């Protein structure tokens, strides 16, 4: 992105992994607590090895004394992000996401957003946010549906909306109960849910789940009209 990049993309530092050809869609991956925009680049390659998609990994806007890396919000209690840091990050990420279609030439409805841990919570908060258009799908790994005053996910009218959730049953950081609670709320809302709970796994991404996620991602971003025979 150069000096003429669309207004909004300057709000967050980010990395762009270009598609191999004209992109069939976009994939945005949000890192977890204490890392940065480089952390989920390998996941982008694993989910989209053919580089059908342009993949972007933004950096969380916060740093905190005594805590390494970047953050999307301050953690005071798991599952309940700090309102004073979550709100500005939500607004900043929303503006950054809103600039993507013009910057990439990829419609929002062909953009999948996802993430790990804090990034998973943010992807659910933005993808299911009040007044926001729905993306192509949400991929949330080892996260939760955040509960923050004024930023509750909107679940009404989400019938058949695609969401993928993965979580380790032995996660000591974000207990698997959060994933199970999210699963029940999302199923009650009628979403099209891909859910994987890995026995004994901690706070990490299950590599055995990646092939299913790869297929799920292809289904969310099929060839554009005129590209099927390419």
Q: Please say if 203 is a catalytic residue.
A: yes
Q: Please say if 171 is a catalytic residue.
A: yes
pTM of the model: 0.94
* CB-based contact 90:118 (threshold 8 Å): no
Lowest mean pLDDT segment, chosen from 16-30, 93-107, 147-161: 147-161
Q: State how far the Cα of 45 lies from the Cα of 27, in Å rounded to an integer.
A: 11
Q: Given CATH 2.102.10.10, say whether it is the number of domain 9-220.
A: no
- pLDDT, tens digit (0-9, with 9 covering 90-100), for 123-137: 999 999 998 999 999
Q: How large is the average pLDDT for residues 91-100?
A: 96
Q: Where are the domains of the chain?
A: 9-220
Query: Of the residues 39, 48, 171, 206, which is catalytic?
Result: 171
Q: Which residues contact 124 (CB under 8 A, 6 or more apart)?
A: 138, 140, 143, 144, 145, 146, 153, 163, 182
Query: Of the residues 39, 71, 117, 206, which is catalytic?
Result: 117
pLDDT over threshold 90, residue 43: yes
Exposure class string for 182-217: b at 16+ Cβ within 10 A, else e = bbeebeebebbebebbbeebebebbeebeeebeebb
């Amino acid at each position: 992105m150069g000096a003429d990049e669309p207004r909004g993309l300057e709000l967050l530092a980010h990395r762009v992994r270009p598609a191999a050809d004209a992109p069939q869609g976009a994939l945005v991956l949000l890192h977890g607590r204490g890392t940065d925009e480089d952390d989920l680049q390998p996941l982008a390659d694993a989910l989209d090895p053919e580089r059908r998609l342009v993949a972007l990994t933004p950096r969380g806007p916060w740093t905190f004394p005594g805590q390494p890396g970047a953050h999307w919000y301050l953690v005071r209690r798991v599952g309940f992000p700090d309102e004073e840091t979550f709100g500005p990050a939500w607004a900043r990420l929303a503006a950054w996401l809103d600039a993507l279609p013009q910057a990439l030439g990829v419609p929002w409805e062909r953009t999948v957003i996802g993430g790990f841990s804090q990034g998973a919570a943010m992807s659910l908060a933005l993808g299911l946010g009040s007044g926001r258009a729905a993306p192509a799908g949400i991929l949330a790994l080892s996260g939760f549906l955040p509960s923050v005053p004024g930023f509750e996910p909107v679940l009404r009218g989400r019938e058949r909306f695609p969401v993928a959730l993965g979580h380790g049953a032995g996660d000591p950081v974000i207990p698997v109960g959060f994933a199970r609670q999210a699963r029940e709320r999302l199923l009650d809302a009628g979403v099209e849910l891909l859910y994987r709970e890995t026995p004994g796994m901690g706070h990490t991404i299950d590599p055995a789940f990646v092939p299913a996620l790869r297929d799920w991602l292809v289904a969310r971003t099929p060839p554009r009209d005129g590209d099927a025979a390419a």
